Amino acid sequence: MNSVVLRVERLSKSFAGVRALDGVSLEVRAREVVGVLGENGAGKSTLLKVLAGLCQRDGGHIAMRGRAVRFGSPREAAEAGISMVFQEQSLVPNLSVAENIMLGHEGVAVRAGFYDWKRLHAMGAAQLAKLDSTLAPWALTETLSFEERQMVELAKALTIEERTPHEPLILLDEPTSMLDAGQAQAVLIGIERLRGRASVVFVSHRLDEVLRVCDRIYVFAEGRCVGQGQRGVCTKAELQAMMLGRRHRVDSKDGSPPQEAPTSASAVILSVRDLSCAHRYHSVSFDLRAGEVLGIAGAAGSGRDSLCRALFGAETPDSGEIALDGRPVRWREPADAVERGIGYLPGERSTEGVVAGMSVAENMTLAHLGELRRGPFIGLRLEKALVRRWIERLGIKPCTSADMQAQLLSGGNQQKIVLAKWLIARKLRILILDHPWRGLDVGAKAEAVASIREVARSGIGIVLITDALDDLIALSDSLIVMKNGLVSGRFTCSAAKPPDWRVLECML
Amino acid sequence: MHALKRFEAMGGARTQWTWCVPLLVLLALVCAVGLAQPSFLSLGSLGLLAGESSVILLLATAQTLVIMLGGIDVSVAAMAALASVLMALALPSTGWVGLLGVLGLTTLLGAFQGFVHARARVPSVVVTLAGLGMWSGLALMVAGATVPVGEGHATVSWLEGSSWGVHHSFAFAMAALLLVAVAQHWLPFGRRVRAIGLNPVAARLSGIRVGRVKVIAFALTGLFAGLAAMTMVARTASGSPTIADSLLLPSIAAVLIGGTAITGGKGGVVRTLIGALTVTVLRVGIAATGLNAAYEPIAYGILVVVAAGLVADRAPHSSVK
Amino acid sequence: MGRPGRAERHPAASERARRFAGHPVQWQTWGPFAALLALCLGFGIAEPSFLTLSNFWVIADSSAVPLILAVGMTFVVLQGSLDLSIEGVMALCSLTFAMLVLNSRTALDLGVMALGLAVLPGLCIGMLNGIVLTRLAVPSFMATLGAWSAALGLAMLLSGGQPPILKDEAFRAFGLGRTAAVPNLALVAVAVVMVGHVLQHYTRFGRYSVAIGGGESVARQSGLPVDRYKVFAFALCGLLAGLAGALESARIGLGHVDIGAGQLLGTVTAVVVGGTSLAGGRGGVLQSAVGALLLNVLANGMVFVGVIPEAQKMVEGAIVLLASLLATWQLRGRLWDVR
């Protein structure tokens, strides 16, 4: 058995009260590829960020090659031989491949500030050769395809070999998420090449790939390590079962009287036909009825985030039709959709949902100022009363916060503000929720779920995206699954809930 | 730590602080000039000062909105120069109608700049730099030199009068400023401007028509440039392509010294009043105390940088270019 | 979420790109260059006396200062910033130079050393611009706007209403004279352009500036000293603006506060028209040089064809607008926010 390169014990990390990592333990041995499998939000990215020195752990131990370490910065992690390939591409598009690979570490290729291009290209080619890649080192990075750029990222990560005396530990954060099966092949081959000279932690949600390339696999769920598997011993089904496991589920019933599932008699308020946007999603069609909750399941790269933004007018589809109440519409900007009664809770709450610097009241009324008008002016007294009413209704704490700056409230309360922003509209028809309880603690999440249920009961159609599959299945009246931009499955959940594994199958 | 948090919650410690500073600076300047030249502090002289400030005030008022959006308009002075020339030519024959026509034109020019900026995503500094060239070039083409206003002057000469010690042009500028202040605080437009300045992405995703708001803001700069031209034509009884050459920087300085943040979203037109008065005191003060007039642009330059630096939002996530 | 590279959508383009990508002069240069040739041809057909050698030297001479300014501005724009202070710096250094050589105001006569000293204020102001940008987080257009005003004020102080007249014969001869029929100033400009080109493609400063413009956060993440290179770029721009001011003084024979009037718009236009994107990361010294030549050919040709000089400013403004619209249209695939 190889020596242990990395040992992590009881690692924990919280963000704003939410446990992203909850006592995780694992180890990585020399020259092995360790897979970390799990759904979005399971804690995989956080683990990598702590290991790479991008954030500090709250508790637990990390030991590298037997010595306890604490990485205060990416540079310290790099000195220990840790190199990370991020999910968002970290290449400068208008530099050449060789420059990107050697960025910041050009060494002898740059003497006295002057570039020896031949040498730099040779160095780049040498790094690429480690992965058996034949990319031209002088090619401009932005002209490369996605998988070619991932190869460059791998080569860039591998340069750490020359900078530390140890064998490197390479962290890969979902390197194939944006690629289809064919494109991913090249990257997987590259990862296999890495094995000969480094240890690798390969984070992904794609079962097939993880099974193919990893020696050992850890399964994460909700910040904890819930299972382990060995190559050749573990089966896909076993891994799926581990991923789903026993977790904090949303109750299918919340104690309220059984709700009338919207029957096919409910009017179709939104219908989408063959909606396509190049490289994001293709030929998506579905109907949304009044009072119905439509869940969209899908992993990273499935195109569902883009789809929802297109429904709101934040992005423009290339072709296809969106119809509201049977009449086709075309949104040029979100304001068009808002006027017709559509609301959107963005995935990035702090940067896209809440305007930091404006008060709670101002944030709440931002989308529908027109409805508060007294003549040309904003009816301030009207606004105050409305805001106070909604603070009470949604339970925003502190309850005197109407004039407080919105960014000072907790994440859960900020989310309520964003929700209220749409609910105050007189004629809200459709609400699109993009990861509505991301980063919220259990209590805040329960409140958010209850609010959403209430909203649906009042006849508003809801489109829901969230990572936790259980929640999605429990809350949705109907479910569509997207994979690599196409609709890969449809389920109705009102009569009987579909089993998780079936949905997962369609997703991955 | 708790007390600080509570203080911050009341709108932010920084905002409180920056309210006082411009006012204090103004008072300090007035005292300084008064010490050097006691006659400066007489009521009559202060009244004159207010009148002096009206042009800068008008130019700076609309500029405030644009800066609150996060942009800048470097063509205001050029638009004012063009307007002055056109007014001087139009007044004798068409009187009020011509005047309004010119105002309408400058508003349109401003709207055009805003439109190009919003739709074609050209940075505001570049669009308005191009505008600066175009409008001052146009002014030069229309009238190579100063155009005196003959009989039409009566249409605007009322601006030069004074009632109860208050110079009419100052009252005029204050009235315009008040209208914009009302819009900023009590019209949805003002809220939207602030939202766009603070977080353009969230603003757009909240259903704000960012393009429309930008066009309106830039149209207002055009309108106010025209109003400033009116005041200048009234004062000098002429229009000239170079009449506003030295007014661009003081008007921007007025906005920044007042405490409006260059990063957008914070500040307002009332602050600009303080800034405009400060700038005028500086200008008059330098002349009154016999200092070399060259110190004016030096002072503006330093003040602009210091003021922008003090109020800039140094958020780690934003990269400043 | 990103998109597959152009290589996937247009295989032929990828092949072409591969052939040219590493080569310093990319095919995007050829567009404005072709426009330049077309313009020369057009004017030549309209007015044959335009296409004479003597006119060519006239154009070369009048392009010298714009070329030098464009090179300096290019590095700043490559990083995604803007330097509005060049007119003020030109004025300041023009006065400084005029007062350091044999002149009508001071008793100094520093000869060639004066040139070296005269560009120092430009260098310092440039460095200050960079420091204000990186330390105080003041956007470049605001910091340089202030610097423009302050520098102009300093120039006015030095001038004191009495512009110093140059009496140094050597410099005057240099400024007005030619070497083997080529105007001296044009030679200096060509040298500056060549040095600029080498800087951009063969030095860390140049390549990192491109990186900063193309992906500043990535550059920082990779450990590049971004702030340092930003200061460098502004310092270089200030230095070259100072050089331009001093040389222009040598040409016209006095130091004057208005020596740089109108150059800002012209320089920005040249940079944009040449194909250096204001968003940063694209274009370069050669491209800006082509842009500057284009504008000067246009100005020169317009005179031949009979367009009044007053219209020039207006035409320049319109050209900047059109050129930036075109540039935006080319980048239309990427959605971003502008201020």
Q: Identity (one letter) of the amino acid at C104?
A: S
Question: Would you state the pLDDT for residue B111?
Answer: 97
Minimum Cα–Cα distance from C329: chain B residue = B120
- The whole-angstrom distance between A75's CA and the closest CA on chain C is 8
What is the pLDDT, as a whole number, of residue B68? Answer: 92
Are A379 and A373 in contact by the 8 Å Cβ rule? The answer is: yes
Q: How far is CA A373 from the centre of its chain?
A: 38
Closest-CA distance, B48 to chain C, in angstroms, reads 26
Task: Give the minimum alpha-carbon distance from B217 to chain A in angstroms, rounded to a whole number.
Answer: 17
Which pLDDT belongs to residue B257? 85
Side by side, the strands of the sheet bearing A319-324 are: A281-289, A268-277, A319-324, A327-329
Q: Are A96 and A140 in contact (CB under 8 A)?
A: yes
How much is the pLDDT for A188?
87
How many domains is chain A built from? 2
Which of A504, A361, A345, A364 lies closest to A437, judged by CA? A345
Domain assignment present for B75: yes
Q: How far is A17 from chain B (nearest CA, A)?
A: 18
Neighbours of A451 (CB within 10 A): 19
A303 to chain C: nearest residue by CA? C1
User: Is the torsion defined by CA of B9, B10, B16, B17 positive or negative?
Assistant: negative
Higher confidence at residue A440 or residue B9? Answer: A440
> Which of B129, B214, B256 to substitute to test the interface with C, most C CBs within 10 Å?
B129
Residues A355 and A230 both lie in one domain: no
C143: closest CA of chain A, how far (Å): 24
Residue A107 CA to residue A102 CA, distance in Å, equals 8
Mutate to test the interface with C, among A103, A159, A178, A279 (most CBs of C within 10 A): A103
Distance (Å, rounded) from C-alpha B196 to C-alpha B189?
11
Instruction: Answer whether residue A251 is part of any domain.
Output: no
Chain C residue with minimal CA distance to B311? C138
Q: Is residue B250 part of a domain?
A: no
Check CB contact of B300 with chain C, cutoff 8 Å: yes
Q: Cβ C280–B321 below 8 Å, yes or no?
A: yes
Tell me the nearest-neighbour CA distance from A359 into chain C, angstroms: 23
**Alpha-carbon gap, residue A195 to A170, rounded angstroms:** 10
Q: Which domain holds residue B226?
A: 56-245
Give me the residue from A334, A356, A403 closest to B198, CB to CB.
Answer: A356
> Mutation test of the interface with chain B: which of A369, A371, A377, choosing the one with the most B Cβ atoms within 10 A?
A369
Total Cβ atoms within 10 A of residue C332: 9
Closest CA to A96 of C334, C75, C16, C210: C210
- A226 and A313 assigned to the same domain: no
Does residue B48 register a pLDDT over 80? no
Residue B301: closest CA among chain C residues belongs to which residue?
Answer: C146
Same domain, A376 and A233: no
In A, what residues contact C, Cβ < 8 A?
A: 74-75, 89-96, 99, 103-104, 106, 110, 113-115, 117, 121, 136-140, 142-146, 148-149, 178, 278-280, 301, 305-306
Classified as helix, coil or strand, C166 is: strand
Angstrom CA distances, C304 to B239, C33, C130, C270, C309, stand at 32, 21, 42, 21, 11
* Domain boundary, last residue among A185, A215, A244: A244
Indicate yes or no: CB of A369 within 8 angstroms of CB of B266.
no
Contacts of B1 in chain A (CB under 8 A): none
User: In chain C, what residues touch B303 (CB-CB under 8 Å)?
Assistant: 146
Tell me: pLDDT of B177 over 80: yes
Is residue B269 in some structural domain? no
Higher pLDDT, A256 or B71: B71
Does B185 score more than 50 pLDDT?
yes
**Residue-by-residue pLDDT tens, chain C, 339 positions:** 334 433 333 333 444 444 434 444 444 557 788 888 888 888 888 888 888 888 889 999 999 999 999 999 999 999 999 999 999 999 999 999 999 888 888 878 887 888 999 999 999 999 999 999 999 888 898 899 999 999 999 999 998 888 888 888 888 888 888 888 888 899 999 999 999 999 999 999 999 999 999 888 888 888 889 999 999 999 999 999 999 999 999 999 889 999 998 899 899 989 988 888 888 888 899 999 999 999 899 888 888 887 777 787 788 888 888 887 877 776 665 545 566
Q: What is the pLDDT of residue C334?
A: 52
Instruction: For chain C, say whether B119 makes contact (Cβ under 8 Å).
Output: no
Q: Which residue among C3, C13, C222 places its CB closest to the CB of A103?
A: C222
Partners of A112 on chain C (C-beta within 8 Å) are none
Residue B40 included in any domain: no
Task: Give the residue on A whose Cα is nearest the Cα of B266.
Answer: A357
Count of structural domains within chain B:
1
At residue B18, does pLDDT exceed 90?
A: no
* Residue B13: pLDDT over 60: no
A216 and A297 in one domain?
no
Which residues in chain A come in under a pLDDT of 50?
Answer: 247-249, 252-260
Q: Which CATH class is domain C37-327?
A: mainly alpha
Q: List the single residue in C139, C141, C150 with the smallest CB-CB distance to B301.
A: C150
Considering the domain architecture, whether residues A228 and A312 belong to the same structural domain is answered as no
C-alpha dihedral sign at A443, A448, A449, A455:
positive
Per the CB < 8 Å rule, is B129 touching C264?
A: yes
Which H, E and C letters describe A239-259, residue by residue? HHHHHHCCCCCCCCCCCCCCC
Which chain A residues contact residue C13 at CB under 8 A? 143
Q: Is the pLDDT of residue B153 over 80?
A: no
Of B127, B136, B256, the CB nearest to C313: B136
The shortest CB-CB distance from A280 to any of C1, C14, C203 is to: C1
Whether residues A217 and A311 fall in one domain: no
Task: Check residue B127 and give its pLDDT.
Answer: 92
Q: Is residue A474 part of a domain?
A: yes
- CA-CA distance, A307 to A324, in Å (whole number)? 16
Residue A110 lies inside a defined structural domain of this protein: yes
A87 with A207, same domain? yes
Q: Contact partners of B by the rule of 3+ C-beta pairs under 8 A?
A: A, C
CATH code of the domain in which A14 resides: 3.40.50.300
Write out chain B residues lying below 8 Å of C81, CB-based.
321
Distance from CA of B129 to the nearest CA of C (A): 7
Mean pLDDT of B182-188: 91
What domain range includes position A307? 290-319+327-507
Residue B282 lies in a domain: no
Residue of A nearest to C199 (CA): A114
Whether A112 is in a domain gets the answer: yes
Select from C1, C22, C203 the Cβ nearest to the Cβ of A114.
C203
Nearest CA in chain A to C218: A90
Q: Which chain C residue's Cα is nearest to A144?
A: C5
pLDDT class of B8 with cuts at 50, 70, 90: very low
pLDDT digits (tens, 9 = 90+) for B72-128: 999 999 999 999 999 998 888 888 888 999 999 999 999 999 999 998 888 898 899
Question: Looking at residue C31, what is its pLDDT?
Answer: 75
Q: Measured between CB atoms, which of A344, A356, A404 is closest to B9?
A: A404
Q: Which residue of C has its CA nearest to B140?
A: C310
Look at residue C337 in the predicted model and tell me its pLDDT: 54
Burial string for A95-117 (b: 16+ CB within 10 Å, else e) reads bbbbbbbbbebbeebbeeeebeb
Alpha-helical regions (H) of chain C: 6-9, 11-21, 30-46, 53-78, 86-100, 112-118, 120-135, 140-159, 169-176, 184-202, 204-214, 216-221, 226-252, 263-274, 285-305, 310-330
- Interchain CB distance below 8 Å, B313 and C308: no
Any CB–CB contact under 8 A between B199 and chain A? Answer: yes
Q: Would you say A364 and A424 are in contact if contact means Cβ atoms under 8 Å apart?
A: yes
Over residues B50-70, mean pLDDT: 90
Asked if B198 has any chain A CB less than 8 Å from its own CB, the reply is yes
Nearest CA in chain A to C222: A104
**Cα(C284)–Cα(C277) distance, rounded to whole angstroms?**
9
Interface contacts A/C by beta carbons within 8 Å: 102
Q: What ipTM was reported for this prediction?
A: 0.84
pLDDT for position C243:
96
Closest CB from A74, A115, A137 relative to C202? A115
pLDDT at residue B15, rounded to an integer: 54
